[in-house]
A and B are shown apart, each in its own frame.
Chain A
């Protein structure tokens, strides 16, 4: 189980949280201008990164606030927790493939 540091509540078990998928996917600025291809991209296509991945989490049984997290999708190491709306922190290193936590 992941141990997640909620920015408001501190370290809590993963079971208190809900996953929100890829972070930094803004609603289209001019939705009326989008063609079918672009709508498909917005609705159905998300990055499926192997390595450091910026994603949203909701502390649903705690403060009920959303936040962003940078997590390695191979090692599951949590590299950074940061507020919604803040830019993605720079990643120093990505853990080697196949490394275990």
Chain B
């Protein structure tokens, strides 16, 4: 695909209203999850007197920094259910939002490089199939047929021993996704307020009744937090803690190339994931920087390591150049699963902990979180991800399917 097939850069798709003094609900965070939540609050629950507050510009945080991979091949039932629901929504959203954000179901491959990888992968394919998630196991020859530029030689440090493959997975243009949601939100009457930073909360006893911002106080009956890496900062303002650590997660793109890479390839073991964006740049990412950080940048050795992995797997990339690297702040939990639901503060709800893989979940996170905010109770898909699991011990350990690869 080349540049002329990309959508035109749109005109203004939403108003820039002044904040009102009062709303039925306020969403903190104007990224993908915040906008999707607002959209489903308005569409499914008739709550249109609501606002999305964004401290910077719309979708300028992790929504603009992710590597746009969408898949649902998670191991455990709880995760497969919510991510697969998201994937089904991705399949209908371009029509529903009347906006072609170039969701391209080009498939995602997860490579196996060790016997342990192979066993874990085949187990995951089985688990996926039982959960209605499309999944296949490919031998190295089938891997090569699907992605001819991959090096499947025995003569590398970690030869490719096979791969899981999810044909319905793929990529989408993340900024267009945000704009698609924002336009619909605006049409439904939602106020999207940019450059509006939350500086505190107003509480009546243990109940939140308002939001303090750099543009004045706003009364509200309900607050939904969708602030990813800054969730802990907001929770502290509200008077509670979250079991989250914020880390820098880096990614990079090359200069533009002719289409050479037909799918998405991820490798947990040699630690890189690679796709080729619609425009032609190679998009790569890997794991988080080890230290806590809010700086939206990380250390260069992390970039160096993932490029080394990419060049071993794709010898054709050896002479490509890095055009740009960047970092986002991801909100990681100890079981690599998100936290969605009620909070210790009445009428305040949290949607966070999506860590390195929140983009793919955007529609389902929004749909289920909107349900939780509107009704005050969990949606059946987000119920297992409640904050209480850290007390009950019912953790959902997705490190196998989530640790590196998004």
| Majority secondary structure, A binding face | mixed
Of B245, B290, B294, most buried by chain A (CB within 10 Å of CB) is B294
CB of A74 within 8 A of CB of B295, answer yes
Across the interface, do B391 and A40 meet the contact criterion of CB distance under 8 Å? yes
Are A1 and B242 interface neighbours, CB within 8 A?
no
Q: Take A21-B245, A37-B391, A73-B295 as given contacts and tell me if A1 and B300 are in contact as well, using a CB distance cutoff of 8 Å.
A: yes
Query: Number of B residues contacting the other chain (C-beta, 8 Å)?
Result: 23
A49 contacts which chain B residues (CB < 8 A)? 292
Are A48 and B392 in contact, with the CB atoms below 8 A?
no
B334 at the interface (CB under 8 A from A): yes
Tell yes or no: A12 within 8 A of B by CB: no
When chains A and B are docked, how far (Å) is the Cα of A74 from the Cα of B293?
6
**In angstroms, how far is the closest chain A Cβ from the Cβ of B221?**
28
Q: Which residues of B contact A40 (CB under 8 A)?
A: 243, 390-391
Q: Is the CB of B244 within 8 A of A48?
A: yes
What is the minimal beta-carbon distance from A75 to any residue of chain B, in angstroms?
7
Q: How far is the CA of A13 from the CA of B293 in the complex (A)?
A: 18
Q: Which of A50-73 contact B (CB under 8 A)?
A: 50, 53, 55, 71, 73
B245 & A76 in contact (Cβ 8 Å cutoff): no
B293 touches A76 (CB 8 A): yes
Q: Are B245 and A46 in contact (CB under 8 A)?
A: yes
- Which listed residue (A13, A44, A74) contacts B243, Cβ 8 A? A44
Contact count A vs B, C-beta below 8 Å: 64
**Would you call B295 and A75 a contact (CB within 8 A)?**
yes
Indicate if B246 sits at the interface (CB-CB under 8 A): yes
Residues in A neighbouring B146, C-beta threshold 8 A: none
For A21, list chain B residues within 8 Å (CB).
245, 292
B202 to chain A, nearest CB (A): 22
B201-241 interface bits toward A, Cβ cutoff 8 Å, 1 = contact, 0 = none: 00000000000000000000000000000101100000001
B392 / chain A contacts, CB cutoff of 8 Å: 36
In A9-63, the 8 Å CB interface with B consists of 13-15, 18-19, 21, 36-37, 39-41, 43-46, 48-50, 53, 55
Q: What is the CA–CA distance of A49 and B242 in the complex, to the nearest angstrom?
A: 12
Contact pattern, B 263-302, Cβ under 8 Å of A = 1, otherwise 0: 0000000000000000000000000001111110001110
A-to-B contact residues, CB < 8 Å: 1-2, 13-15, 18-19, 21, 36-37, 39-41, 43-46, 48-50, 53, 55, 71, 73-76
List 6 A–B pairs whose Cβ atoms lie within 8 Å, in order of A's numbering.
A36-B391, A40-B391, A43-B334, A44-B243, A53-B292, A76-B295
